Amino acid sequence: MENFLTFAVCHCQKDRSLVWEELVDGIVKKTGLKIELKIFRDLEEELRYLDSSLPDIYFASFVNSCEAVNKSFVPVAKTKGLGHANFCLISRKDFSEFSGKEKEFFKLGLLKKRCLINLLLVLYQEFPISLTRILPIFFPSQEEIKNSFLKKHIDLALFSADFLKTNQEIIRSNFWLPISYHDLHFFMLNPGSPYFLWLKDFFLTPFTLKGLEVDLISQEEQFIKTFAILPELLSSLWEKALIYETFYKSPYLGMLIYRDDQILLANEYALKRLNHEPQDLEDYKMEDLFFEEKIKKLVRENIKKKMHRRVFFHRLQ
């Protein structure tokens, strides 16, 4: 049975096939293996492929290397200066107008890949509003993001540069903000590949190929791993921030936070309705908010149930 090695290459290299064919020839001469070279046409094809296949070698952009690390790929070499097809944030209005308070949240459409959330960190210094006011909405394709944006179901949309090349009307009729990130690319190896050790040995020595300088990685591996777990962390923080924005700052909903039976925090609406200042509640228990003994008793019982993780519903008249 003939052995094949799969080599997947970032879509930003689709116009440089000769470079990759020469590199493949070098690996063939050293290993004696036949190689199937796959250079992706666009971002979505690349992401779909990674969902269903695990190549032996993957030449990945920084963002996609974070995705690959989550699939146990190991970075062994790097190159920079290639440039990359970046992303654009699209809006129907000027970005300078987003600082107003006309909306609590702005819905942002992006591809259903958590690694893309890292791109929003690039916006942190440039975007005029807090990221906690951005609500990410995930879509399976950029075409669906476009349709949702055109129907005004979302306020902002994140598109890859290759998608915008064939959808120029989105840029012409709206405001856009380019998002550029690190142009480092990494050679990632699949540890489950039967050729893993051979390939790792191949990349032990730095080399130059048609202006492509390939060098060993050093601290970059930890750098990638850190950014690989960031989307999960950011998503969790985002959820908490959205809960805070939605409930704690609500002008129509009173909220009290307590531990055991002690009140820790009350939002402005609750303080207003209770006719209290924040310092008034420092030593309050939940039952102290009520006058009737039967309600106090009910509150005590419900708190006990809550402490034993029992769910209860009760409406006070």
| Residues 280-305 pLDDT 10s | 777 788 778 777 888 888 878 877 77
Same fold, 4-84+182-217 and 87-180+232-246: yes
Instruction: Tell me the HSE value of 109 on the side-chain side, using a 13 A CA sphere.
Output: 23
| DSSP code, position 70 | T
In the predicted model, is pLDDT for residue 136 greater than 90? Answer: no
> The sheet that has 156-160: what strands, in order across it?
134-139, 106-111, 156-160, 87-91, 175-179
- Residues with Cβ within 8 Å of 27's Cβ and at least 6 positions away in sequence, in order, are 5, 7, 33, 35, 199, 202
Q: Which two tokens stand for residue 142?
A: 């950029």
In the predicted model, is pLDDT for residue 311 greater than 80? Answer: no
Between 289 and 34, the more confident residue is 34
The CATH classification of domain 4-84+182-217, taken from the options 3.30.420.40, 3.60.120.10, 1.20.210.10, 3.40.190.10: 3.40.190.10
Say what the pLDDT of residue 246 is: 66
In the predicted model, is pLDDT for residue 36 greater than 80? Answer: yes
Q: Which two tokens stand for residue 301?
A: 């019982």
Say what the pLDDT of residue 9 is: 95
Say what the pLDDT of residue 317 is: 47
Residue spans per domain, the chain = 4-84+182-217, 87-180+232-246, 256-307
What do you get for the CA distance between the two ends of the chain, in Å? 78
Rounded to two decimals, the pTM is 0.72
In the predicted model, is pLDDT for residue 312 greater than 50? Answer: no
In the predicted model, is pLDDT for residue 8 greater than 90? Answer: yes
Length of the chain equals 317
Say what the pLDDT of residue 186 is: 93
- Helix, strand and coil percent figures for the chain, each rounded to 5: 45, 25, 35
| C-alpha dihedral (308, 310, 311, 317), degrees to nearest 10 | -70
Please name the CATH architecture into which domain 87-180+232-246 falls. Answer: 3-Layer(aba) Sandwich (3.40)
User: How would you classify the pairing of strands 156-160 and 87-91?
Assistant: antiparallel
